[in-house]
Amino acid sequence: MKVAYWPGCVSRGFTPELHGSMARVAPLLDIELVELDRACCTGAGVIAEHNQELADTLNARTFALAQAVEGAEMMMNICSTCQGAQSECQERLDANSEYRAHVNASLAGEGLSYEKGLTNKNFLWLLVEEIGLDELRAKVKRPLTNLKVGPFYGCYIVRPRARLGIDEEHPRDNYLDLVIDALGGEVIEYAGMRKCCGFPIITMNKQASLKQAGRHLGDALDADADCLVTPCPLCHLNLDLQQPLAEGVVGRELGMPVLHLPQLVGLALGLEPKELGLNRHVVRPTSVIDWSTSVIAAASGA
Amino acid sequence: MAETHERPPEPFTLRLRRYDPESGEAPYWDEHTVELEPHRSVLEAILQARDRFDGSIGVRCSCRQAICGSCGIRVNGEPALACHTHLDAAKRGARAGVIEIEPMGNMPVIKDLIVDMDSVHWKKIRRVTPWLLAKQPVPEREYIVPRESMVDVTQTMACIQCGACVSDCLAMEVDPGFIGPAALAKAYRFVGDPRDDQQFERLNDLAQDQQGIFDCTHCFKCVEACPKGVNPMGQIMRLRRVATADHHIVDKNNGERHEKAFASLIRENGLLWEAELLPRSYGGNSWFGKFAPPAGKELLSSLPAIVKALMRGKVTPMGALKPHKIPAADLRSVRALYDKIEGRKERYELNLYIAGEDEAPSQPAAGAAAQQAPSSGEASAPAQAEPEVGASL
């Protein structure tokens, strides 16, 4: 399937391995990515906090660009925070025709216009709803046998439920569990799996921010997880990049590898760890990968 | 709901979290099966268990119609009003068909399902001076204010003080001193009130407090928890917006600087530049900001993470020093949007709680809606976006 692809900023900045691994995984899943390289940042909620109309207009511009991609079935993103920020703006734009017309008037100079009803799915949702778990299972070349994976969803992709289309028919707040299972891994449930990584307040209250990251990593460790997987690069920043600092705040060694969702999928589909950028994480994923053979192994200590 | 009224009573099993701090015993789980019609509430089930099986079950309730806010609990791990949760819905969300009932979080348990609202929730509410600090001289009779200026605060006035948002607040979980969602929503009730005389003082107080408006982690837990649609997190964002945009309050928590740095980096590059966001958040937007003492201090404290990231090739020096940009023509368009929208005299803000949805699903041709005349939405709720009250004062 062809999608208008919004990679986000951080996947091209501090977590380049995310953008790279998505590009590797997409062809294996028959996803054609048409990158929205003209679109700007979603604002991650901060621009909406600064000026709601500005955030809505910038995102309406992105939506309009996505709608202009010929043959694209929908828009796809690889960032929970992008999903949440875009869904919030889309909710307002779709709910009120007068407001939408007002926002579109600002875009008219570029010849752009957003039409109500764009479908915008995070890679996780697309994986389950468009590709399907059976199809995914059939494509697995190297099942994650014995690998204990803790899902870390990220707030923006699980709340608020109504805005994100989460209901009994679409249990999107459970999809990460389903995907880990389909890839042959073991799902590890732990207290922090749907909690906040703390990243949004890293510059405002660093202690509280790192305490959140450290606690969830510790909970996952106590629940015997080999690694975590997340669909959110911002969560990845606090959980992986900042993990050495989080260890100091919670006063324990953590050493918990955190994988991006496309990396976990890619490993199971047979890609090599290096192609997926797994060598570029701050916390070495030694518990996930036996580097000599590239075969996924359970924790060496187990 | 109508069809459930016809259904006969059926068994529902409750798993109750029991705890009496005075007993010296550890908390434990208790199970009781009650018989009730599926449309009955979880509260009725708890009361039946208490009446029939164990008179010592501690639960607080009063109105039984979701208006007094007494019966806040956790049902299957999620915050809820016991009287406002149907048994059939609770059972659908339960593991193995057993409805799990616990006291609210972030507050000490007095007994079983009763938590100490006084020591946490009400203290925090008092923290925000929850009464009108009126403009002087006080008019002899009533205040006369435009109707529209009060519409803005009706969302926060819907709060019934049940504590569900406090129970679930993730910032409070790691930082118990955080003023929290209920109290900050209450703060907006007065910040947004045109009769109040202390808007700046209130906002400055809440912005400078490290556990104030900038301590919210934006996790949406309170939005989801609230049984009344108050959207506490949204109110916190509005407090931030009025504090920074209208009063230009520069706080010592980097809240204002972070917001400004973020917005200006997107204006400059179209995309976020993380390596520049941090120093600007600490030292301000000017080029010299990164040499400000707080920015240097932050850089030093982050060294362990930075060194590791460089060693692992996660961040390259070039990647850190050079921003990603969108094409020049698009950047011009983005900047033009900034100039136009930020240049407005009043911020244009749409609150769906007040405006509602103007297009019922039954209305025809959603695709053509964008071309409709502006008056099309008038049959339903007022479709006009209310300009923010703070801006019009």
Tell me: the pLDDT tens digits for A263-281? 999 999 999 888 999 989 9
Would you place residue B313 in the very low, low, confident or very high pLDDT band (cuts 50, 70, 90)? confident
First-to-final CA distance of chain B? 45
Among A126-135, B5-14, B311-320, the range with the most confident prediction by mean pLDDT is A126-135
B250 and A CB contact within 8 Å: no
Quick one: average pLDDT of B181-200?
96
Q: Does A195 touch chain B (CB under 8 A)?
A: yes
Identify whether the C-beta of residue B103 lies closer than 8 Å to the C-beta of residue B74: yes
Portion 45-84 of B in contact with A at CB < 8 A? none
pLDDT at B380: 35
A135 interfacial to chain B (CB closer than 8 Å): no
CB within 8 Å of B122: residues ≥ 6 apart = none
Which residue spans within B25-77 are E strands per DSSP?
28-36, 72-75
Confidence of residue B72 (pLDDT cuts 50, 70, 90): very high
Cα–Cα–Cα angle for A119, A124, A130, nearest 5°?
Answer: 55
Report residue B301's pLDDT band, with 50, 70 and 90 as the boundaries.
confident
* B contact residues 114-153, partner A, Cβ 8 Å cutoff: none
Give yes or no for B377 touching A (CB within 8 A).
yes
At B82-124, the pLDDT tens digits run 999 999 999 999 999 999 999 999 999 999 999 999 999 999 9
**Mean per-residue pLDDT, B193-218:** 97
Give the tokens for residue A248: 């100091």
pLDDT tops 50 at residue B249: yes
Average pLDDT over residues B38-55: 97
Give me chain B's average pLDDT, please: 88
CB A2 within 8 A of CB B314: no
Whole-angstrom distance, CA of residue A266 vs CA of residue B221: 32
* Per-residue model confidence (pLDDT) at position B336: 98
A98 CB within 8 Å of a chain B CB: yes
Average pLDDT (B339-365) is 81
ipTM over 0.90: yes
* Angstroms from B295 CA to nearest CA on chain A: 10
Is A44 touching B (CB cutoff 8 A)?
Answer: yes
Enumerate residues 244 to 273 of chain A having a beta carbon within 8 A of any beta carbon in chain B.
244-245, 248
Tokens describing residue A230? 């997340």
Rg (Cα) of chain B, in Å, rounded? 25
Given this model, what pLDDT does residue B359 score?
Answer: 63
The answer to whether residue B352 neighbours chain A at the CB level (below 8 Å) is: yes
Q: Which positions of chain A have pLDDT values less than 70?
A: 289-302
Q: Count of H helices and E strands in chain B?
A: 19, 7
B355, closest residue in chain A (CA to CA): A96
Residue B384 has pLDDT above 80, yes or no: no
Task: Give the tokens for residue A180.
Answer: 């880990």
Helix (H, G, I), strand (E, B) or coil at A151: strand
B130 and B159 Cβ atoms separated by less than 8 Å: no
For B174, the closest of A116, A211, A241 (CB atoms) is A211
Region of residue B229 (left: phi > 0; alpha: psi -120 to 50; beta: else): left
Q: What is the mean pLDDT of residues B301-309?
A: 82
Taking CB atoms and an 8 Å cutoff, what residues of chain A touch B376? 97-98
Residues A119, A75 contacting (CB under 8 angstroms)? yes
CB contact under 8 A, A282 and B314: yes
| Residues 5-24 in A contacting B (C-alpha not used; CB under 8 Å) | 9-10, 12-17
- Of B271, B278, B383, nearest to A9 by CB-CB distance is B271
Q: Do B355 and A96 make contact, defined as CB atoms within 8 angstroms? A: yes
Cβ contacts from A onto B, under 8 A: 258
Instruction: Output the pLDDT for position B298.
Output: 81
Contact list, A102 vs chain B (CB under 8 Å): 348, 385
Mean pLDDT value across residues B251-279: 93
Q: What is the mean pLDDT of residues B364-391?
A: 36
CB contact under 8 A, B214 and A201: yes
With a CB cutoff of 8 Å and minimum separation 6, the contacts of A111 are none
Residue B347 in this model has a pLDDT that exceeds 70: yes
Give the residue from chain B lying closest to A241, CA to CA. B305
Distance from CA of A104 to the nearest CA of B (A): 9
**Cα angle: A136, vertex A88, B331; to 5 degrees:** 95
pLDDT of residue A300: 39
Task: Cite the beta strand spans of chain B per DSSP E.
Answer: 10-18, 28-36, 72-75, 78-81, 98-102, 109-111, 114-115
pLDDT tens, position by position, B144-174: 888 888 888 999 999 999 999 999 999 999 9
**Distance of residue A240 Cα from the nearest chain B Cα, in angstroms:** 9
Task: Tell me which residue of A51, A49, A64, A47 sits closest to A104, measured CA to CA.
Answer: A64
Chain B CB contacts of A12 under 8 Å are 271, 324
Q: How confident is the model at residue B367 (pLDDT cuts 50, 70, 90)?
A: very low
A173 contacts in chain B (CB < 8 Å): none
Q: Do A241 and B258 touch (CB under 8 A)?
A: no
